Structure 1
Amino acid sequence: MTLKDFYAEWNNGSDKILVHTSGSTGKPKPMMVEKSKMEVSATITCDFLNLKQGDTALLCMPLDYIAGKMVVVRSIVRGLRLISVKPSGHPLRGLTEPPVFAAMIPMQVFNSMQVPEEKEMLMQIKHLIIGGGAIDTAMERELRDFPNSVWSTYGMTETLSHIALRQLNGSKASCWYTPFEGVDVSVNDNGCLIIDAPRISDIRIVTNDIAEIAPDGRRFRIMGRKDNVIDSGGIKIQIEEVETLLSKYLTVPYVITKKSDYKFGEIVAMLVESDDVEGIKRICEDNLPKYWQPKLYISVKKIPRTQTGKPARKQAAEIAERMI
């Protein structure tokens, strides 16, 4: 979808607009959402970040998904000056001045930090929000000293982008997400996050994200997804926890997945963009608890990812299942 297409759909007289889920756990699904609720969500974010009319906003994500659409909606409701670039891994390349506001996925931030002039511009963005995937510990450490506000977002298509932020840099850096005013969170018996956000959703949203609520009863942190649990010989292993621990030791792209197994029920499997499988195995054996160590290592040319840069979990599991 082009920006022209989006404006045409936004101004077509209908009170709803078509969006698609990200497809991280399967095929992207179409959804019709209310434009008025998108405007409310956009206003909440603009107010929180104190964005003002005339501020520049970078559009660097596909307009088929909620994240890209919401950047445009924020520019509409607040009168921001939109800077539209083709979605790519290096969204700051070619820009002559930093935008006031930018929303990026972790891959775009990582790539930008590898090029000195792009990193310098990244540091000058006044309000940088990062969403659409996990931010590993190495990236958090590098962002910690950025001079302007950097935020990790929590949200999904159903919540019309994010409903909570956590600061990644400065003295207020935290592992806890703080919901916006008017948003309440809790967990169900399975430990999954429940979201009550009546201003943007008419229904209570029960997620598949396993969460912990802070002692204050308001903030929360995400431990992983319910469907990303490996049950291996009766031991439950959270895929995201394994990936987070490994991120301290591996620089090559990888993803943890699972494979069905006659003896254990399921085993930990690992897809990695490297031919040095033995070297990767040694790193895992030296740094992971015994029961977290992969029993199957698969060298791939490219880790499967969705269009928004997230690991394509279902595809990764299908690759592992095909291995003998």
Structure 2
Amino acid sequence: MIFDRQKQRLLLEGREYTPDDISRLLAEGENAYPSAIRDLFLFLREWFNDSPFMKVHTSGSTGTPKELTVRKEQMMQSARLTCEFLNLQPGDKALLCMNLRYIGAMMVVVRSLIAGLNLFVRPATGHPLADINESLKFAAMVPLQVYNTLQVSVEKERLQQTDILIIGGGAVDSALEAEIKRLPGAVYSTYGMTETLSHIALRRLNGASASEHYYPFSSVRLSLSSENTLVIEAPLVCDEVLQTNDMARIYSDGSFMILGRKDNVINSGGIKIQAEEMEKRLQSLIDVPFVITSVPDRRLGQAVTLLIEGRLHLTAIEGRIQAVLEPYYRPKYIRMVNHIPRTENGKINRAECRILAQNLHLGGKEE
């Protein structure tokens, strides 16, 4: 692997570009290229400059987006860990189809640079395989992209020809996971965040090694805080010990499960309810996007609220919920909305969902 940035080369659909090539192409005019290629070249211009640092942005799925300054050396170490774990080799065909504003997409490029992968670039749309005619070794997508791809037979066939797929940027629900289990290639859910420069653990979703547990890279050390939130020590990619807001359970073999975010615990009449756990229990009952959130309540403190995207029969939904949830877990309010709020990269925007639920509650009507 190549860690000297000035010796790295971009292999783009079989054609090699040096740092000087990138500078020259941009000097000739940024607008001469499709937006996805232009964004790639702009990222590379920053990557190849003299600064050892880069600016990255958090997604803002749980609060206000933040700008972070990270070390390029640590980004390369993160890329190395993934390439070694997945046994990616020079010339392997890799797909970049996510927004280069965020760390997940950046790391696809860095992996390509240090390992000599042959990069194919497509816009960050819901159907990234719509015009891919290559059998890919490696691809990284968000859950919505995977879901959309599986709905179109031609795109699904191309995904079936992809050897390795990693899915990040959001939870993989049980219905999507069931479809993924039928894919022949190796598919992983990733665990990580901007602060850890992409993922520090992987969970196999299909095949004989499929598991509900995430397995961290060997250089990562995990523990739990007094509130049972995950504490990450990953010295290769993060200078400080990272205190997360993710409620977790760690097992004797070093693997772990994420139960949900501390921010998403709803305290309803003294009963602590994990929003993600409730969503998992309801997943098989509601076949459209939905989210569990809360609104302030004078008696309960917080009242569990279910937002459903679309227009479904309310009585039928209430009946299904009563069959699977104990009374104190059931949503006190169910609201139909046109759209579940999401961030730019497709994650559920929990903060906006709470605001939407509260506005609907105060208005006493649907969106």
TM range, smaller chain? over 0.9
CA contact (8 A) 2:139 2:165 kept: yes
- Distance in 2, matches of 1:250 and 1:321, equals 22
How far the C-alpha of 1:277 sits from its partner, in A, is: 4.9
Question: Is 1:238 aligned to residue 274 of structure 2?
Answer: yes
2:140 aligned residue (98, 103, 110): 103
Q: Which residue of 1 aligns with 2:305?
A: 269
Q: Which amino acid is 1:100 matched to?
A: K
Runs of 5+ unmatched residues, structure 1: none
The equivalent of 1:199 in structure 2 is 236
Q: Radius of gyration: which is bigger? A: 2
1:34-45 aligned within 5 A: 34-45=71-82
Give the one of 224, 230, 249 matched to 2:285.
249
Tell me how far apart the structure 2 counterparts of residues 2 and 33 of structure 1 sit (CA, whole Å): 19
**Cα distance in 1 between the residues matched to 2:183 and 2:337:** 34
Taking the aligned partners of 1:269 and 1:201, their CA distance within structure 2 comes to: 37
Answering whether residue 357 of structure 2 is matched by residue 288 of structure 1, we say: no
Aligned to 1:28, which of 65, 68, 82? Answer: 65
Q: Distance in 2 between matches of 1:157 and 1:26?
A: 14
**Equivalenced residues, count:** 323
- Pairing 1:180-199 to 2, within 5 Å after superposition: 180-199=217-236
Partner residue of 1:317 out of 326, 339, 354: 354
Equivalent residues in 2 for 1:146-161, closer than 5 Å = 146-161=183-198
1:6 and 2:26 matched? no
CA separation in 2, counterparts of 1:125 and 1:169?
14
SS at match of 1:2: helix
Q: Which amino acid aligns with 2:148?
A: N
How far did residue 97 of structure 1 move?
1.9
Match for residue 62 of structure 1 among 73, 92, 99 = 99
**1:25–1:314 Cα contact (<8 Å) kept:** yes
Counterpart pick for 1:76 among 105, 113, 132: 113
CA contact (8 A) 1:277 1:299 kept: no
Distance in 1 separating the partners of 2:349 and 2:319: 26
| Aligned match of 2:252 | 215
Take 1:317 and 1:277, find their aligned partners in 2: how far apart are those partners? 23
Partner amino acid, structure 2, of 1:213: I
Aligned-pair CA distance for 1:124: 1.4
Residue 202 of structure 1 deviates from its aligned partner by: 1.0
Matched, 1:90 2:93: no
Of stretches 93-102 and 276-285 in structure 1, the one that deviates more from structure 2 is 276-285
Q: Deviations over 1:89-136 (max 9, x none)?
A: 111111112321001111111111111111111121111001111111
- Say if 1:54 and 1:79, in contact at 8 Å, map to a contact too: yes
The residue type equivalent to 1:263 in the other structure is R
* Distance in 1 (alpha carbons) for counterparts of 2:319 and 2:155: 35
- Matched to 1:197, the amino acid is A
Corresponding residue for residue 229 of structure 1: 265
The answer as to 2:197 corresponding to 1:163 is no
Cα offsets for 1:195-246 (capped at 9, x unmatched): 1111111110110000000122x11110000000000000000000011111
Equivalents in 2 of 1:88, 1:97: separation in Å? 18
SS of residue in 1 equivalent to 2:252? coil
Q: Aligned partners of 2:126 and 2:322: how far apart in 1?
A: 32
Residues 45-67 of structure 1: CA deviation (Å, up to 9, x unaligned): 00110001011111010000000
After TM superposition, give the deviation of residue 275 of structure 1 in Å: 2.0
Give how far 1:148 is off: 1.4
Distance apart, 1:183 and its partner CA: 0.6
The percent identity for this pair of structures is 49
Is 2:74–2:237's contact at 8 Å kept on the other side of the alignment? yes
| TM-score normalised by the chain length of structure 2 | 0.86
Could you tell me how far apart the structure 1 residues matched to 2:65 and 2:130 are? 29
